[in-house]
Amino acid sequence: MKATINHKDLLFTVDFSKPIDISLSMRTDESNVEAFYLPSPQFEPFRYGNTVLSKQQGGACNCEVLTIAPHGNGTHTECVGHISFEKITINQCLKEFIFIAELVTVQPVELNDDSIITKSSLESVLQFTTDALVIRTLPNNDEKESFHYSGTNPVYLETSAAAFIKDRGVQHLLLDVPSVDKEADSGELRAHHEYWNYPTAPRFGATITELVYIPNEIPDGLYLLNLQIASLETDASPSKPILYKIDLSL
């Protein structure tokens, strides 16, 4: 289904029959992506007394109890509550779900033993001013769908790059890395603090989505982003960001 949309004075056509899912699913086996030494997801049939809610085990239906750690189990969207003393939840912060997004591909800079997304690398590729920014890092391959990141010191965002993104007015930042901050940084989380402007003047409506995956055949450019979460009153939720290619040739 195609639709013509006027979003914030930008007129374009979108084909909703061609969604681009950039989320990573959560699985209970070794193929699930893993980060920060968090335990793998567990999906277990609910049990009470002698009853097991599993059709395979003789139950009337399937009813599973899910145990997940969103920050390390797959694609997740987080709010400033991730670093705040106050109880702030993603369900309170994310109230709109459709945005114009720019997808860019960045080659991280190698510095000592680190791979960093720098301010200058973003300046060289950004072309538009948008509410949402999706960053794909190189090298890029489908290993990202099942990679175990713990202890590997993965790519992260330079603090000045986080400030640059914030100053451009980006409200929703999406990346294909486990965190905007260095895996082991003594708990400073500088990029998180800078992006959310916490605690000076917190950006409650701003979100960070980590551990997305964008295949190489998806070109850089403008997209319509549908960012969906579960209605959880906690700092982060598993999420399903969907991109739709924008056609400006009306």
Partners of 208 in the β-ladder: 78, 173
- Model's pTM, two decimal places? 0.96
Q: What is the pLDDT of residues 24-63, one digit of tens each?
A: 999 999 999 999 999 999 999 999 999 999 999 999 999 9
Nearest to 26 by CA among 142, 145, 135: 145
Instruction: Quote the pLDDT of residue 79.
Output: 98
Structural contact between residues 59 and 70, judged by C-beta atoms closer than 8 angstroms = no
Q: pLDDT digits over 180-215, tens only?
A: 999 999 999 999 999 999 999 999 999 999 999 999
Q: Phi/psi class of residue 221: alpha, beta or left (left: φ > 0; alpha: ψ in -120 to 50)?
A: left
Give alpha helix (H) positions in 26-158: 70-73, 90-93, 119-123
pLDDT tens digits, one per residue of 61-119? 999 999 999 999 999 999 999 999 999 999 999 999 999 999 999 999 999 999 999 99
- Please report the domains of the chain, with CATH numbers, ordered by start residue: 2-38+70-247 (3.50.30.50)
